[in-house]
Amino acid sequence: MRFEFDLTKFRCVTTLKVRFGDLDAMGHVNNASYLSYLEEARIDYFGCAVEFPKDNLDFGAVVARIDISYLRPLEMGDTVNVFSKMYEMGEKSFELRHVIQGNRNGENFVAALASTKLVAYDYRKKISLTIPEETKERIRNFEEGKAGKE
């Protein structure tokens, strides 16, 4: 997956540190660890955009698809910045785009590009939901710089 990106247009950035447990036998960040990085970034994004409390586990959405293009390996000690931006909102689904940027010895580099599709979901009824218009509006306002936490 490739997409054009301008990091100045990504209003939510999640900063993480590569941990020993993130590594594979070759000393690179294991591909599965990127999923954890994206999970943290999603939680942060909705905290910024719609002020969703990070400690609330009733998120109201399920992951339908994640696509990741790995471009350059991350290693132990690297700082990781996950830039997140709403790309598309439908009636029942959202698509976030992410740029996973590494920093090693003061040099920034793009480690991966990712896309996460989420579907609004009622866990009790086990059905998809229509995204509330208020939520969509708050996200649009956040993306336009009119509201939300940074």
- pLDDT at residue number 42: 93
At 1 the pLDDT is 65
Q: What is the pLDDT of residue 150?
A: 55
**Residue whose C-alpha is closest to residue 95's, from 56, 139, 52, 35:** 139
Whole-model pTM: value is 0.90
According to the model, what pLDDT value does residue 37 have? Answer: 98
Q: What percent of the chain has pLDDT over 90?
A: 78
Q: What is the pLDDT of residue 5?
A: 78
Indicate the Cα dihedral angle 2, 83, 148, 122, nearest 10°. 70
Q: What 8-state DSSP symbol labels residue 29? A: B
Q: State CA 84 to chain mean position distance.
A: 5
Structural domains in the chain, sorted by start: 7-143 (3.10.129.10)
Q: Does residue 58 register a pLDDT over 60?
A: no
Q: How large is the average pLDDT for residues 126-134?
A: 93
pLDDT (average), residues 97-116: 97
Residue 77 to residue 127: CA distance in whole angstroms: 42
The residue whose two tokens read 């970034």 is 41
Contact 128, 119 (CB under 8 A): yes
Q: Provide the pLDDT confidence category of residue 60 given band limits of 50, 70 and 90.
A: confident
8 A C-beta contact, residue 97 and residue 87: yes
Q: pLDDT tens digits, residue range 1-50?
A: 667 778 999 999 999 999 999 999 999 999 999 999 999 999 999 988 98
